[in-house]
Amino acid sequence: MRPAAEPHDANEIQSLLKADRVLVTGGAGFIGGHVVRQLLAVAPHVAVLDNFSSGTRSNVDEAQRQAGRKATVFEADIRDHAALRAAAAWKPTIVVHLAAQSKVAASMRDPIADAHTNVVGSLNVFAAACAAQASHIVVASSGGCVYGQAGFGGTALHETVRNCAASPYGVSKAAVDDYLQLFTREYRLPGVSLAIGNAYGPSVSGGPGDGVVAAFVTRLLSGEPARINGDGEQTRDFVHVRDVADAFVRACAYRANGRINVGSGTATSLNQLLIEIAILAQRPGNASHVTPAPGEVRDVCLDIERAAHQLGWQPKIPLRTGITHVIQAACAAQAVF
């Protein structure tokens, strides 16, 4: 479905989702909590499926509190095909698939476990969506890892770049993208893969969130040096988690297809990031450099024109503003203890 003309407001999206039942796997996670919160504001029926191994019930509870509405919650593991039957019986019309093993280091240590969760688990979700006769699926992919070292030197990565993953995690996410294309063609399950940059920002339930921004903020506020793998000149495409959640909601509403990058379109080095955080946090920007981690990509900068065209989406929260959000959340969390 082609997006309507700007501005894309909540009423338009709510109208497009008015008859839908949206199931979110991994809805208790960092990104998932924000996606659930935004979906509860526009979709009549929302369900969360999570095994709560890394996601938290507080994320779901806070998403519901902020939206003023309840979601149906299934405690289940995507690796357990039988456990997904109850979710399929809920009859979702749209499935948002966020549940995953998302750590590069963990995938390097145990590529089999990574594939079992990310590939087999995703196939279980796809099969459950087909069993429920869902009309659409929105899958979370990695805007850095599926492209591997293709962005070396600052090349803006377009969705047509051939996969050249540098880690088992990147390979597994690229494989899921390929399976999605297969299910679209052969099993009548159309869908879209959102290749996300480095999502950052406060968790929906409070706290500084996940990722390198949160790690830098937490260490600097505690008077410790930020830990950087390598020389710090590697770049990442940072995108606020609320903007990411907005992209997922739009992908549901507009029934997008293929692969779509979700990022800022700007490359920021870790050294630059640390300087910005130190200034905004009013703390010394000290760093401890350690050996580069295996499997990590050097540079990530995403071309986001397709997101603008197909979703009417663009990032709204600048990096400096987003860093301030993280600092405020971290300070509030520290004040509690």
DSSP annotation of 157 reads B
DSSP annotation of 291 reads P
The alpha carbon of 124 is separated from its chain's Cα centroid by a whole number of angstroms, namely 20
For residues 180 and 190, give the distance between their C-alpha atoms in angstroms, rounded to a whole number: 8
Q: Which of 169, 179, 187, 254 is catalytic?
A: 169
Q: Which residue has the tokens 């069993």?
A: 131
Whether cis (ω within 30° of 0) applies to the bond prior to 7 is: yes
Query: Does an H or E element contain 28, and which?
Result: none
End-to-end CA distance of the chain: 48
For residues 52 and 99, give the distance between their C-alpha atoms in angstroms, rounded to a whole number: 10
Question: What is the DSSP secondary-structure string of 39-65?
Answer: HHTT-SEEEEEE--SSS-HHHHHHHHH
Edge-first strand listing for the sheet containing 45-50: 72-75, 45-50, 21-25, 94-97, 136-142, 191-196, 258-262
For residues 195 and 148, give the distance between their C-alpha atoms in angstroms, rounded to a whole number: 12
Catalytic (active site) residue 187: no
Count the Cβ atoms, other than its own, within 10 Å of residue 178. 11
Return the active site residues.
169
